Chain A
Amino acid sequence: MSLAFPRAPAQRQLGVGLDLPWGTGFVRDPERGDVASGGVVAFLERHAGDFGHLFVSWQPKDRGRLDAREYFPAYDDLFARVGGAYPVRALHHTTLNLGALEPYDRGAILELTCALVERYAFAWVNEDVGLWSIHGKPLPYPLAPYLTGAGLRAAIANTRAVQDALRVPLLIEFPGFSDGTALVIGRMHAYDFFRTLALEAGVGITLDTGHLLSYQWLRGLRGEALFDELERLPLEQCFEIHLSGCELAGDRFHDRHHGVLLDEQIELLRRLIPLCPSARAVTYEDPVFDGSGMVVAETRASLDALRSEARGWSP
């Protein structure tokens, strides 16, 4: 199998991923126009020693027609201020809609994506395999793809089409099944669906620890059984591992993105590392920090745990 992994990072490292909503992550400065917020810049400067790479999540800026030039000022500002400390960068997409069954016009968004990739030297593009909209109508959270034969064929075709349009590797991410997004249509095991998709489309993958745990939680597994069946995943194709804050409330699994990691997520990371020989980017997603760039107290232990794990990775 010919599989193109991102060229960087060359060795396994810890990085950070940030959602940058317009209005908080990116803000409007009356004199300079669209810029990265002070808190984001302060956080990235403060933790440049902790993180070797950075991904940013793309969010539509407004209701203008898609035009990369509208995004340049904010991204230019971000990378002018912190880019030196983060030479390895990636783009987390939110609009590719890889799980869609219906026709979905990606022309404009792919054109914009290619322009961003070229200008900011993003090493890869990633997106959760799921439904980010349905028949054009947006969903608050991406839903899982259709776990059916037709759903799998559509996801393969969508993934191939997107990869063909990009000049850098596309990493497909195992979708989430947490509370509020756990609509399962179809009878395929999601690990099998994802493995076949990755193999057939010939792309690298991202494994999100919260997403994997949420699927097994949804299936009723608990305790040690949450870590079962990892061999059903396309582990050889894993380049990136995500960790974003999750929470168990009663019998519900929430993907909060609040920076606080479950012990089970750290444990799953420990188990995945030896199983995924090509996993080079381990990314702490959406840590919560204040306006001065300090991580909030609740997040501190999770960051420390990841630092500790990273120290144990052999080069």
Chain B
Amino acid sequence: MTLDEVLEALLFRRSFRRRFVSGERASLGVEADDEADLAALDLDELERAARSACRGVLERSHRGLGSLLDTFPRTIEAWRCASPGRDLDELAAELAESEAFRPWRPASAGDPLGPPIEDAFRVFCQQTLGPEVGKLARAECAAAIVRALVVNPRPSFAVPSFLRVAPRGHYSVIERDGADFLVAALGGRFVTGGLTPLLGAILRAEDPSAAAMRAGGQAAAELRALGLIGEVG
């Protein structure tokens, strides 16, 4: 490992940090030449800096959305219920350690194709907290991403593939109170609302425009007027 890789791991990977603090070096991949340079590290200060860096991931606020704590309130509540006695530092450390976190890059890092932090958090929740919490996280993630797309129609992150592309923007059909619910960024506006089972089925279809055509009548006209589907044929 290069020194920068070591520092990144020390800050964001708790398991790596613990092994480092216990004295491991070569087994972690630390080069022998770097050991003396790393000897100057104050381990208490390292712990504080790592905690701050990981908490920053949870608390970093995005314009128009807020932080993960703001955008995933129900998911985080579910995590609290599933994790009695553990605080947000624990959640931050687990997230930062996860595979889901690795590809994340923030807006200003010159990587326009990385996933947004909301999607990294969604994947993390799905992988670690089970399908029910994963479903909740996906719904909150979808709402957050479409709001982000309203604020930034040209985002510096890759739009998650579970968001559907529409003629006038992006949308997702999520479940709310047992029914289909639309969250969408359409023509620069944040559009939300309950869906009838028919509209939900159309928008979930592999080809929504064709499905709307088959359904015919008012349904297709409504979705077309919103910019959710296009003309067929």
Contact = CB atoms under 8 A, between A and B. Distances in A.
B107 A140 contact: no
Interface residues of A, number: 45
Interface string A60-73: 11111111000000
A183 B42 contact: yes
B40 A184 contact: yes
Interface residues of B, number: 46
B25 to A, nearest CB: 14
A67 to B, nearest CB: 8
Contact of A180 (B48, B110, B154): B48
A167 to B, nearest CB: 21
B73 interface: no
Interface in A146-187: 146-148, 150-151, 179-187
Interface in B99-113: 104-112
A141 B8 contact: no
A185 B37 contact: yes
Contact of B52 (A107, A180, A186): A180
A185 B7 contact: yes
A140 B46 contact: no
B66 to A, nearest CB: 10
Nearest to A148: B37
B148 interface: yes
Interface of B: 2-5, 7-8, 11-12, 36-38, 40-42, 45-46, 48-49, 52-53, 55-56, 60-64, 104-112, 114, 116, 148, 151-157
29 contacts: A23-B63, A60-B108, A62-B64, A63-B116, A63-B151, A63-B152, A63-B156, A64-B107, A64-B155, A65-B155, A66-B108, A67-B154, A102-B4, A105-B110, A106-B110, A133-B106, A135-B8, A136-B114, A137-B53, A138-B60, A138-B106, A138-B108, A139-B11, A146-B4, A147-B37, A183-B49, A185-B37, A186-B40, A187-B40
Given A95-B108, A136-B109, 11 more contacts: A23-B63, A64-B151, A65-B152, A102-B2, A134-B7, A136-B105, A137-B8, A140-B56, A146-B4, A146-B37, A186-B40
